[in-house]
Amino acid sequence: MTEDGFEDFMKDAAKGYRKPPSVPREAMWQRIQEVRLARRARFRTVAWGAGMAAALVIGVAIGRYAYSNVEMGQPIASGVEEEGAHGAYRYAAADHFERADAFLAMFAAEAEAGTADEEIKEWALNLMVTTQLMLQSPAAEDPAFRELLEDLEAILVQIAGYEPEWGEMELELIEDGIQERNVVLRLQALAANTETFTTEGVE
Amino acid sequence: MEEVQLLEKARRKDADAERGLYERHVDRVYYLAYRMTGDETMAQDITQDTFIKAFDKLDSFRGDSKFSTWLHRIATTVTLNALRKVKKFRLEGPMELADNVGAGTVHAEPDLTEKLYRAIDSLPERYRTVVVMHDVEGYKHQEIAGALGIEVGTSKAQLSRARAQLREMLSDFAGEWAL
């Protein structure tokens, strides 16, 4: 009895191991479509609430920007006119980048510890909707802001779809996306530069 | 249409392109899921879940590897997770149902081929996965490595160890397989 003989036997006999039936292509495709449709409907409902929260977050940041001008002894109109709406939205975007940076750090830690849960998912959804609103705002007219917002959106969409039973590979795919796009460093750099810019603009 | 074009359109949520990708890859994903689980319902669930996840995450596929490698990485992860759940259920839940999942066909007096199948069933999960992918479904080591996130050398080593274990388990039949 040789090893080769066994391998030949294996090659031949193993082909019949749990021989699959014909593939139910159409039935599976229908099911895939149904599941995705149901998810989209659920997502739209949750996103509506998240949209309200996101608008509030942006409004508060813009208000803070205007208020900081008043504190510096300048009338609101003068500060906002000088920078235009862009300054306020850039400030709001920088504020958003800081929160996104903190979130991604927490997500990485939770994913590694295997403790990522529904709360993380909801947080990602809220940030994602804010990101989408930012993409529609004057802040996205700056190419660097737009590019970062788009990359951030792509990552947050994945995290918002997080399921607790996900395996390591799925978390690795998200982490790979964050690394490949260099998102964390870009978030930190733009947040810091924008804060400096805003302060300089006000003084 | 070329796969690159299909991928580009599918990223923009083009339903025809998604269907095109599905048609190209569904058989291989389903066959692997079925061979790993031996259960039609589980194989269907795994296949569906694989494509749902793949379409959801298509933006994160950067094209560094082949789409089929990326898709099979998702498929093997979903399959192994599903098998772990069944194993857990088998330990905690009713034995009757759990025993039927993944058991394959059982004969009272199994011949050598049937003995081989039972031996494959009893391999540790990582060995059984490589045997099923390589010897049963005909994947290349490169594809197995990509799908399982391991080195090509590791895939080869695991196959070699798996075959050694199978030879050992079938040692009573030594000589019969050369006939």
CA atoms of B165 and A119, how far apart (whole Å): 45
Residue-level pLDDT at A166: 64
Nearest partner of A67 among A79, A58, A49, judged by Cα: A79
CB contact under 8 A, A169 and B136: no
> Cβ of B112 under 8 Å from any chain A Cβ?
yes
Residue A7 — pLDDT band, cuts 50, 70, 90?
confident
Domain ranges of chain B: 3-177
- Cβ pair A88, A80 in contact under 8 A: yes
Which residue did the predictor score with more confidence, A95 or B108?
A: A95
Residue-level pLDDT at B95: 40
Question: What's the mean pLDDT in B84-111?
Answer: 52
CA atoms of A169 and B77, how far apart (whole Å): 7
- Cβ pair A79, A199 in contact under 8 A: no
Output b/e per residue, A157-187; b: 16+ Cβ within 10 A: bbbbbbeeebeebbbebbbebbeebebeebb
Q: Above 60 in pLDDT, residue B98?
A: no
A35 interaction partners in chain B (CB closer than 8 Å): 48, 52
Residue A15 DSSP one-character state: G
From the options 1.10.3720.10, 1.10.150.170, 1.10.12.10, 1.10.1740.10, give the CATH code of B3-177: 1.10.1740.10
For residue B107, give the 3-state DSSP assignment: coil
A41-90 pLDDT, tens digit each: 666 666 666 676 677 677 776 666 666 655 555 555 544 455 556 677 78
Indicate the residue type of A30.
Answer: Q
Nearest to A1 among B80, B135, B175 (CB): B175
- Cβ pair B135, A10 in contact under 8 A: yes
Q: Above 60 in pLDDT, residue B73?
A: yes
Nearest partner of B82 among B47, B124, B122, judged by Cα: B47
DSSP string, B132-151: IIIIIT---HHHHHHHHT--
Residue-level pLDDT at B166: 93
% of chain B beyond a pLDDT of 90: 57
B24-33 pLDDT, tens digit each: 999 999 999 9
Of the residues A7, A12, A17, the best mutation for testing chain B's interface (the one with the most B CB atoms within 10 Å of its CB) is A17
ipTM of the assembly?
0.85
- Cβ pair B145, B154 in contact under 8 A: yes
B117 interaction partners in chain A (CB closer than 8 Å): 16-18
Task: Compute the nearest-CA separation of B163 from chain A (Å).
Answer: 8
Name, in order, each residue with C-beta under 8 angstroms of B146's C-beta and a sequence gap of 6 or more: B65, B66, B69, B70, B72, B73
**Sign (positive/negative) of CA torsion A127, A129, A131, A134?**
negative
Task: Compute the nearest-CA separation of A135 from chain B (Å).
Answer: 18
CA atoms of B176 and A119, how far apart (whole Å): 59
Rounded to two decimals, what is the model's pTM? 0.61
Question: What's the mean pLDDT in A24-50?
Answer: 80
- Cβ pair B104, B39 in contact under 8 A: no
Nearest partner of B74 among A16, A14, A174, judged by Cα: A174
CA atoms of B39 and A149, how far apart (whole Å): 44
